[in-house]
């Protein structure tokens, strides 16, 4: 299946313009990927990284998705595109057999018709008629490399954000591509998950020392392209960096040459050491226990706690009816147990913990989207038992982990204004919505844009704006830093600090311990169903 010699991919994009657009999304971009090398394309949100990745991987096809002028060269075969109908056409299935892509939105990688993680992994192999015994071996091997072994029997729809990302990467790796393109692979991964991906990338680059997924020792090293808005530990292992800004290359060189450079800064790339540069700093989890950075956190305010959780317990899913088993023993997964939490006005609390620990589940208890099986949740001194979510929402704002779960309106402005009329009246609603959009850095030009057309970073900021516009007494943020570039992080930091200064109680869930320490008064870890201080 694989060529005897490693494949190199070379691309030259003079211009790539999406159909219906006037300005090119990419302009004067050249990149070459060598076997066994990690190449990083760094750039802020909306710089064109994902477009470039999809173009290289055949997910965006010339003529089909837009007009391409330039060339793609794979393993010595060069395809020239002049933006004309007679341009060569790429067969996406054949192309991606060689060049695999893992999108930023991991869920988009899944077939959705497979019942277990193991079958989802095997989906691509089934389509290529790999014999069943080879598939079994490949699934086992790939699962071990990506830390999915314990999850093979789970339904992919029930995986946590971090687990889903590892599955998406595994789905690409299992097909043994010559080139692997990873779009923000470390987003929403915990420290262990990020370490696993780093280890996987290293082993792919140095293949030959280990056996390939199907057990045959072909020893072809893979060329890996990393698309990232953070110069994180994985990016710093790259041999070559390309800095993308506004759809064009502004700098190229080795990490040593470009770290701290003005081009990197201008592009909005997160530099090492900056809070928010990902789970990559969470190796710090073991160090400095008890140290609590309060650099950006203001002072606490006196007064009753806007949010209290008392001995809260919760579990997911019940087994199907089984005779003779009392209902209380049928709970499959207990997520929260005897959990106590009180957040004071103006206090910022960060909650960390491994993927799947139940952090998102905890936040969904604050406004009643999930109800505890035991214990009580009190908002502004009142129990929310029996109170509709929509009513609690006047006091609790919740930012979901995935912006696409939060956004449903036709334009950014309508999105931010949804529900405001009932809260503050017609006269003020639009002004509030506009102010919230401006506070997160979305311009008046963005107001009329459909949320799905915004970049990932802007989508998260828009979701944040919808929450901020309501000025709730309790602000619950689920992984707010994921997908944000440096500018986005600054906006987030300002918004959180401003809310806390107004006396809002803030609870944020994050894998990024550096960010947690820099932002929060207290850092708690969710472990075994309850919270404890780090």
Partner 1 sequence: MMPERNDAVTARLHPFTALTAAACTAVITTAAASWPLSITVALAAAVLAVRCGAARQVLAAAAVILVPLLLSLLVLHGLFFPEGHTVLAQWGPARVTAEGLGFALEVGTRTTACVLVLLLFSFTVSVPDLLAALAARKIPPQFGFVVASTLTLLPAVARRLDRIRQAQETRGMVVRGGLLARLGALRLQMVPLVLALMDDAGSRAQALEARGFGSPGPRTSYRDVADPPLQRHLRVAALVLTAAAFTARIVASWPAGGTA
Q: Residue 305 or 392: which CB sits closer to partner 1?
A: 392
Q: Residue 294 or 404: which CB sits closer to partner 1?
A: 404
CA–CA distances in Å: residue 215 to residues 138, 174, 211: 7, 11, 6
Start-to-end CA distance of the chain, whole Å, equals 49
Rounded to an integer, what distance in angstroms lies between the CA atom of residue 102 and that of residue 115?
Answer: 21
Is the CB of residue 168 less than 8 Å from the CB of residue 97?
no
Q: Residue 202 or 318: which CB sits closer to partner 1?
A: 318
Other C-beta atoms lying within 10 Å of the C-beta of residue 290? 7
Q: Residue 300 or 424: which CB sits closer to partner 1?
A: 424
Q: Residue 59 or 515: which CB sits closer to partner 1?
A: 59
Rounded to an integer, what distance in angstroms lies between the CA atom of residue 488 and that of residue 72?
Answer: 33
Minimum distance, C-beta of residue 238 to partner 1, in the bound complex (Å):
24
Rounded to an integer, what distance in angstroms lies between the CA atom of residue 450 and that of residue 448?
Answer: 7
Minimum distance, C-beta of residue 399 to partner 1, in the bound complex (Å):
9
What residues contact 453, with CB distance under 8 A and at least 6 apart? none
Q: Which residues pair with 522 in a beta bridge?
A: 349
Phi, psi angles (nearest 5°) of residue 219: 70, 25
Write down the residue that tokens 């570039």 correspond to.
485
Q: Residue 98 or 281: which CB sits closer to partner 1?
A: 98
Q: Residue 396 or 520: which CB sits closer to partner 1?
A: 396
Rounded to an integer, what distance in angstroms lies between the CA atom of residue 328 and that of residue 453?
Answer: 46
Q: Residue 478 or 485: which CB sits closer to partner 1?
A: 478
Minimum distance, C-beta of residue 427 to partner 1, in the bound complex (Å):
17
Is the CB of residue 446 less than 8 Å from the CB of residue 458?
yes
User: What stretch of H or E contains 245?
Assistant: strand 240-245
Q: Residue 400 or 515: which CB sits closer to partner 1?
A: 400
Other C-beta atoms lying within 10 Å of the C-beta of residue 318? 11
Q: Residue 81 or 95: which CB sits closer to partner 1?
A: 95
Q: Residue 350 or 476: which CB sits closer to partner 1?
A: 476
Rounded to an integer, what distance in angstroms lies between the CA atom of residue 248 and that of residue 49?
Answer: 10
Query: 3-state class of 285 per DSSP?
Result: helix
Rounded to an integer, what distance in angstroms lies between the CA atom of residue 378 and that of residue 402?
Answer: 26
Query: 3-state class of 516 per DSSP?
Result: helix
Is the CB of residue 225 less than 8 Å from the CB of residue 41?
yes
Rounded to an integer, what distance in angstroms lies between the CA atom of residue 342 and that of residue 345?
Answer: 10
CA–CA distances in Å: residue 9 to residues 37, 156, 222, 227, 250: 11, 32, 11, 16, 21
Query: 3-state class of 9 per DSSP?
Result: strand
Is the CB of residue 268 less than 8 Å from the CB of residue 246?
no
């Amino acid at each position: 299946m694989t060529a005897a010699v490693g494949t190199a991919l070379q691309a030259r994009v003079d211009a790539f313009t999406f159909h219906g657009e006037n300005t090119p999304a990419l302009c004067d971009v050249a990149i070459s990927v060598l076997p066994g090398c990690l190449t990083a394309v760094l750039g802020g949100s909306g710089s064109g990284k994902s477009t470039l990745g999809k173009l290289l991987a055949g997910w965006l096809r010339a003529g089909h998705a837009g007009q391409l002028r330039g060339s793609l060269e794979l393993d010595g075969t060069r395809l020239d595109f002049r933006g004309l109908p007679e341009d060569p056409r790429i067969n996406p299935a054949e192309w991606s057999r060689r060049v695999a892509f893992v999108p930023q939105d991991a869920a988009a990688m899944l077939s959705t018709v497979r019942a277990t993680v193991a079958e989802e992994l095997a989906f691509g192999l089934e389509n290529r008629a790999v014999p069943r015994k080879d598939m079994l071996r490949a699934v086992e091997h790939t699962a071990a490399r990506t830390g999915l072994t314990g999850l093979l029997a789970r339904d992919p729809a029930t995986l946590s954000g971090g687990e889903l990302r590892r599955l998406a990467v595994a789905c690409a790796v299992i097909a043994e591509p010559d080139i692997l393109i990873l779009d923000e692979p470390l987003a929403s991964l915990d420290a262990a998950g990020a370490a696993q991906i780093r280890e996987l990338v290293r082993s792919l680059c140095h293949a030959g020392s280990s056996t390939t997924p199907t057990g045959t020792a072909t020893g072809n090293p893979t060329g890996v392209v990393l698309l990232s808005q953070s110069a994180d530990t994985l990016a710093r292992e790259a041999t070559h960096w390309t800095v993308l800004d506004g759809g064009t290359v502004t700098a190229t060189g080795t990490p040593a040459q470009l770290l701290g450079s003005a081009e990197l800064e201008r592009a909005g790339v997160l530099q090492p050491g900056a809070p928010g540069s990902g789970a990559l700093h969470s190796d710090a989890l073991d160090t400095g226990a008890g140290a609590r950075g309060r650099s950006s956190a203001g002072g606490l305010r006196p007064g009753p706690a806007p949010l209290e959780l008392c001995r809260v317990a919760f579990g997911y899913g019940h087994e199907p009816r089984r005779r003779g088993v009392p209902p209380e023993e049928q709970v499959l997964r207990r997520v929260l147990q005897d959990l106590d939490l009180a957040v004071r006005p103006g206090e910022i609390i960060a909650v960390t913990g491994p993927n799947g620990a139940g952090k998102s589940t905890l936040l969904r208890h604050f406004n009643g989207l999930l109800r505890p099986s035991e214990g009580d949740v009190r908002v502004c001194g009142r129990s929310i038992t029996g109170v509709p979510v929509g009513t609690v929402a006047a006091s609790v704002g919740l930012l979901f982990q995935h912006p696409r779960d939060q956004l449903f309106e036709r334009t950014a402005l309508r999105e931010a204004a949804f529900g405001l009329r009932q809260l503050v009246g017609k006269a003020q609603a639009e002004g509030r919505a506009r102010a919230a959009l401006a506070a997160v850095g979305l311009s008046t030009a963005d107001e009329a844009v459909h949320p799905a057309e915004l970049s990932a970073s802007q989508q998260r900021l828009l979701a944040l704006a919808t929450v901020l516009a309501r000025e709730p007494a309790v602000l619950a943020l689920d992984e707010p830093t994921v997908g944000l570039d440096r500018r986005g992080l600054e906006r987030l930091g300002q918004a959180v600090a401003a809310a806390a200064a107004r006396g809002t109680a803030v609870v944020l869930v994050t894998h990024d311990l550096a960010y947690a320490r820099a932002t929060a008064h207290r850092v708690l870890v969710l472990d075994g169903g309850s919270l404890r201080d780090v």
